[in-house]
């Protein structure tokens, strides 16, 4: 990963609403990042294990396995434990942010969010080698 930079980072976007997922993917792609997608928590866990993304953008309110549980599973798996997860939520009360961090999230962003905020947060949580110029 030493030659990775933020412009070549692979980001997994997990969102059940296709329009929102496509919008987040477009923001990140326009910033030079590579993007893969998942529509629910189960798919997210499977795709993350197979693809080893550099960061994950995870909606917390997902059908089936929600973002909370998907994050817990990712953090419990040695193959994916190191991957930073940015939680997206429509309602971030202080207790929700604390719960998300306890589940393993590196950050919590409130939806709706500005494209610049998402891109900046993904860059912030990338491993240090990914932030090298």
- 8-state DSSP, 66: -
Q: Which two tokens stand for residue 25?
A: 């993917």
CA 119 to chain centre: 11
Q: Is 25 within the bounds of a domain?
A: yes
Give the tens place of pLDDT for each residue, 66-112. Answer: 999 999 999 999 999 999 999 998 876 777 778 888 889 999 998 88
Give the tens place of pLDDT for each residue, 16-51. Answer: 999 999 999 999 999 999 999 999 999 999 999 999
CATH number at residue 104: 3.40.50.2300
Q: Is 31 within the bounds of a domain?
A: yes
Helix (H, G, I), strand (E, B) or coil at 100: helix
Q: Which two tokens stand for residue 82?
A: 């190191």
Q: Is 3 within the bounds of a domain?
A: no
Range of the domain at 66: 8-124
Closest by CA to 96, choosing from 109, 81, 83, is 109
**Number of compact structural domains in the chain:** 1
Q: Give pTM, 2 decimals.
A: 0.89
């Amino acid at each position: 990963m030493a030659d990775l930079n933020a412009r070549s980072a692979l980001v997994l976007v997990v969102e059940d609403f296709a329009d929102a997922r496509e919008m987040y993917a477009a923001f990140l792609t326009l910033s030079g990042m590579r993007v893969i997608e998942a529509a629910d928590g189960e798919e997210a866990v499977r795709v993350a294990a197979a693809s080893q993304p550099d960061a994950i953008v995870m909606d917390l309110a997902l059908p089936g396995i929600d973002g909370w549980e998907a994050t817990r599973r990712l953090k419990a798996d040695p193959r994916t434990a190191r991957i930073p997860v940015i939680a997206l939520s429509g309602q971030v009360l202080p207790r929700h942010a604390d719960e998300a961090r306890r589940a393993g999230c590196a950050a919590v962003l409130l939806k709706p969010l500005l494209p610049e905020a998402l891109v900046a947060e993904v860059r912030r949580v990338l491993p240090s080698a990914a932030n090298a110029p």
